[in-house]
Amino acid sequence: MLKQHRTMILIVALFITLIGIPAGASEPSASAPPSDTPNISISNEMGEAMVREASRVKDEFRKHAESLFVRDPMGWGWPTISYLYGQLISVPMKLPDITRRIMDQSRVLGLLGSMFVIILLAAVFYSLIGQKRVLRRVETEVKPLCEKLPETAYPYFMSVLKVVVEALIPLILLGLFSLIDDLTDYQTPWLQAMGRGLALWTIGALINGLLRESLTRNLFPAASAYGKDIYRLTRLVLIYALLGIACFWGMDAFDIRQDVISLARFAVTLSIITVLYLLFRKKDAFLSLLPKLDYRSYLGFIRLLDKYYKALIGFSFAVALLWCLGYNRLGQVVLFKIWASAAAFIAIMLLYSVMQNWVEKWSVRIDPTDEAAVLLIRSLKVLLLYVNLTATCVIVLNLLGLLDPLQRVMSFPVFNLGANQVSFWIILKAVFILLTFVYASRLLQAYLDYKVYPVLGIDAGLGYALNTFFKYTTIAVGILISLKIVGIDLRFLLVFAGAIGIGIGLGLQNMAANIISGFSIIFGGKIRKGDWIEAGSTLGIVTDIYLRATKVRTRDNIEYLVPNSDLISNTIVNYSLSSPMIRIEVPVGVSYDADPKEVEKILLKVAEKEPMVDAHEKPAVRFIEFGDNSINFELLVWIDVQNTARKKIRSRLNFAIFEALQNAEIEIPFPQRDIHIRTR
C-alpha cells in the first residue's frame, strides 16, 4: 500500500511541476492560434482576489454586527400599564355585566353544554386528587401481565403506563370536546379557548409525565444524582410556558389590545428566562446529563464547557435579557449560535457513539481470523469517522454562520485551467467527493468479500480481481465526477496524459513496467490472491496484488514485496493453479547389515501413520544407492503444500523413522575412518 501511495505521489508531483509554470511564461501571444487543450497557469490575481474578498467579508461582518444592536420597539409602554390599572379598578363595576354575559352564554349553550362544562371542571379536580388512586387500580389490573415481562423492562413499562394514565383524562376530554364541536355550530371565544386549553393540558401532561419518570425514577444513571432538582425547575419552566401560551390564546380569542399582549409576552418571557437561568446555574446537575463518551474532541469540549460554564451561562442570561428589552436580533443570533452549535455537536457525537458501539458489538461476534469480516469492520469504522468529521465541520460551521464566509474567502483563484479558475474551495470540494467515493468503494468491496462472493460461490482469487477492477474504476469515476462537478474542463486530462508520457520516457520505465505487469497479473488469472507461489527461494501465499508489487507472506509471517515485472518475466511456481498436491523426498540411510525389504516396510508403515501425508496417493520407497557407509533409500510422500510445510513434515517423518528403526534394531551408520600412524 505504501508503494502504491508513492506511485500516486510521484504522478501528482509531476503534474504539479508541469502546471507550476510562471504565469508570464504561459501567456500566449496575441497571434497564437487557439489550442484544443486548456492552458494551465498560475493566477496573477490570487493575492488581490484574496484581499478583496476578505475585505468584503469583513465589511459584511461589521454591518451584521451593527444590526445586532438595533433595538426594536417593545410594543408596550406606560400607557399600557395605565390602561391595565384602569381596567383593574373598574372590575367591580363590571361584575354585573360579566354575570349577565355568563348567563346569556349558558342559556345559549343549553343543558348539554352546561353539563359538559361541569364535567370538565370535575375532571380537572379529579385529575388533581384522584390520579394516584386511578394509577394504583391500573397497576393492580396489569400486574399479571407485568409478571411475564423481563425484570429489567418492568420499570420502563410502569413509567410509560404512568405517563399514559396522567394524560388519559385530558385526552378523553379533548376527544369529547372535538365531538361536540363537530356536532354543533355554537362558536364563541371562550369555547374555542376551552378547546385550546384541553389540547395544551394534554401536551403538558405528557411532557410532565415524561420528565418526571425519566428524571426522578432512577431509570437512567445520568439522572440519578440531580434528577429531582432538575425536574422541579423544568416543571416550573413548563408551567410558565403553558400558562403563557394559554394566556396568549385567550387574549387572541377575546380580541385583547395588542400592546397588552406584548406586555404579557414580555412578562412571561422574562419569567421563563429567569427560571431557565436558575436551572442552568446548577452546573454539576446539567453536566451530569451529558452523555459519557470517550472521544478526544468530545472530552476537550466537555473540559472547555466545564471551565467557562458560569461565564457562558451569565453571558447567555444577559443576552436573553437584552432580547426581552427589544434587542431581538442579538438574542436570537447569539443564543441560537451558542446553544444550537453545542447541541448539534453533542447530538452528532452521540449518534457516532451509538453507531460505533453497534459496530464494536458486531466485531466481537465475528471470527477474528475471518479477513473479509475484519476488513468490513475496519472499512465501516473508517467511513463512520469520515462522515462524523465531515458532518461536524459542516453543521457546526453553518450554525455558527462561518461556512459561507469561509467559502467566499477560499474562493479566490489559485490557478487557471483553460477558461476555468480553480480555487481552494473547488479543490476542497473535489477532494471531499473523491474521498467519499474511495471510502464508499472500500466498504462495498469489503461487503462483497464478506457476503456476496461466498453466496455466489466466487473463489477468493476471482473476487479479488473483481474488487481490484471495481476499486480502480470507482476511483477513476470519482475523479471524473469530482472534476466535472467543480466545473473543470476535462480536456486538461490530455495535458496530464502527456505529462505521464514524458515521465515514462525520462525515467519511469521500471514503474510503468511494474504497473502494466500488475494489470496483467490481476486480470490474467494466473496468479491470484490466496495462491501459494514460489518465487526463487520464497514460498508463501499471495496476500495482496498492488499496481507496482505483489505482497507474499511466508509461513514464518515474513512479507515480501515482489515487483510485478519479476513475476511476469521470471519462472514462478504456482501450487494453487491446478492442484496443491506435491511429492517430497525424505532420504534415509541404514547399515549394510539391514534387510532392504524390512526397511521398505518400516518406511511405508511410518508414512501411512502420519496424518499430514495425503492418504489418497500411496507413499513409495526407492532404493537409491550403495553408499560408502550405508545403503540409501528415499521415502516419497504426497502432501498439500498449501496446508503443510515441507520442513515440518520432513521433521515429523524423521522423528518417526528414527524411532521405528531403533525399535527394529536397525542401525543408522555414520562415517568411520581408520587412521594408521606410521613411524620410522
- For 50-80, what is each residue's pLDDT tens digit? 677 677 777 777 777 777 777 878 778 888 8
Please say if the pLDDT value at position 37 is more than 50: no
Confidence of residue 166 (pLDDT cuts 50, 70, 90): confident
Within 10 angstroms of residue 616's Cβ, the number of other Cβ atoms is: 6
Convert 382-418 to b/e letters by CB count within 10 Å (16 or more is b): ebbebbbeeebeebbbebeeeeebeeebbebbbbbbb
Distances (CA, A) of 379 to 73, 389, 438: 57, 15, 10
Q: Which of 404-408, 421-425, 493-497, 637-641 has the highest mean pLDDT?
A: 637-641
Q: Label residue 449 exposed, middle or buried (CB < 10 Å: 0-12, 13-18, 19+).
A: buried
CA torsion through residues 359, 360, 366, 370, sign: positive
- The three-class DSSP label of residue 339 is helix
Beta-carbon contacts of residue 45 (< 8 Å; ≥ 6 apart): 412, 413
**Pick the residue with more confidence: 121 or 645?**
645
For residue 7, give the C-alpha cell. Answer: 506511485
Please name the residue ranges forming H helices in 592-680. Answer: 596-609, 646-663
Dump pLDDT digits (tens) for 397-451: 888 888 887 887 777 777 666 566 777 888 888 888 888 888 988 888 888 888 8
What's the whole-model pTM score?
0.61
Tell me: the pLDDT tens digits for 255-277?
677 888 788 888 888 888 887 88
Identify the pLDDT of residue 207: 85
Assess if residue 569 is contained within a domain. no
Is residue 153 in a domain?
Answer: yes
Listed residues 289, 322, 352: the one ending a domain: 289
Predicted pLDDT at 127 = 62
Closest alpha carbon to 522 in 554, 489, 547: 547
With 50 as the cut, is the pLDDT of residue 23 above it?
no
Confidence of residue 491 (pLDDT cuts 50, 70, 90): low
Burial profile 452-491: b = 16 or more Cβ within 10 angstroms, e = fewer: ebeeeebebbebbbbbbeeeeebeeebbeebbeebebeee
Neighbour tally for 173: CB within 10 Å: 22
Residue 107 confidence (pLDDT) above 60: no
Higher pLDDT, 99 or 237: 237
Establish if 602 belongs to a structural domain. yes
The CATH number of residue 647's host domain is: 3.30.70.100
- Kind plus residue range of the DSSP H or E element containing 446: helix 424-447
> Would you say 167 and 202 are in contact if contact means Cβ atoms under 8 Å apart?
yes
Average pLDDT, the chain: 76
Q: pLDDT, tens digit, for every residue of 328-374?
A: 788 878 888 888 888 888 889 889 988 988 888 888 888 877 878 88
Can you tell me the mean pLDDT for 195-213? 81
Residues 187, 190, 194, CA angle at the centre, nearest 5°?
A: 100
Q: Is residue 103 part of a domain?
A: no
163, amino acid identity:
V
Please indicate, yes or no, if residue 586 is contained in any of the structural domains: yes
What is the domain count for the chain? 2
Cell 364541536, located at residue? 181
Residue 533 host element (H or E): strand 532-535
Read off the C-alpha cell for 260.
397588552
Overall average pLDDT of the 35-61 stretch? 63
For 42, half-sphere exposure in the C-beta direction (CA atoms, 13 angstrom radius) is 12
Task: Give, for 397, the enclosing helix (H) or strand (E).
Answer: helix 371-399
Using alpha carbons, select from 38, 26, 51 the residue that is nearest to residue 422: 38
* Residue 197 buriedness (CB in 10 A; 0-12 / 13-18 / 19+): buried
Is the pLDDT confidence value at 155 over 70? Answer: yes
Amino acid of residue 514: N
Decide which of 156 and 300 is more confident.
Answer: 300
- Decide which of 196 and 379 is more confident: 379
> Has residue 634 been placed in a domain?
yes
- What whole-number distance in Å separates Cα of residue 623 and Cα of residue 589? 10
Torsion of CA 605, 609, 610, 613, to 10 degrees: 80
**87 or 374, greater pLDDT:** 374
Contacts of 140 (CB under 8 A, 6+ apart): none
The span from the CA of 232 to the CA of 216, in Å, is 10
Cα–Cα dist 161/167, whole Å = 10
**What is the phi/psi pair of residue 636, to 5°?**
-105, 120
CA gap 58, 645 in Å, rounded: 72
In a domain, 240, yes or no: yes
633, 621 Cβ separation under 8 angstroms: yes
Distance between CA 641 and CA 199 in Å, rounded?
78
SS3 35: coil
The single-letter DSSP state of residue 28 is P
Question: What pLDDT is stored for residue 575 in this prediction?
Answer: 76
Grid cell locating 46: 490570487
**How far apart are the C-alpha atoms of 269 and 609, rounded to whole Å?**
91
Residue 478 near residue 438 (C-beta atoms within 8 A): yes
Kindly state whether residue 265 falls inside one of the protein's structural domains: yes
Mean pLDDT of 290-314: 86
pLDDT digits (tens, 9 = 90+) for 515-567: 777 777 766 667 777 788 887 777 888 887 777 788 888 877 788 888 877 77
What is the DSSP-derived secondary structure letter of residue 38? P
Percent of the chain with pLDDT over 90: 3
CA dist 345 and 298 (Å) reads 8
Full residue range of the structural domain in which residue 608 is found:
579-663
> For position 477, what pLDDT does the model report?
85
Check residue 79 and give its pLDDT: 83
| Residue 637, C-alpha cell as written in the block | 510422500
For 165-173, what is the mean pLDDT?
75
Of the residues 228, 259, 289, the one at which a domain ends:
289
pLDDT interval class at 587 (50, 70, 90): very high
C-alpha to C-alpha distance for 164 and 160, rounded to whole angstroms: 6
Whether 586 shows a pLDDT value over 70: the answer reads yes
Last residue of a domain, one of 238, 266, 289: 289
Q: What is the pLDDT of residue 34?
A: 45
Confidence of residue 501 (pLDDT cuts 50, 70, 90): low
Tens digit of pLDDT for each residue in 113-124? 556 666 666 666
pLDDT of residue 41: 56
Closest CA to 127 of 184, 168, 82, 185: 168
Classify residue 218 as left (phi > 0), alpha (psi -120 to 50) or beta: left
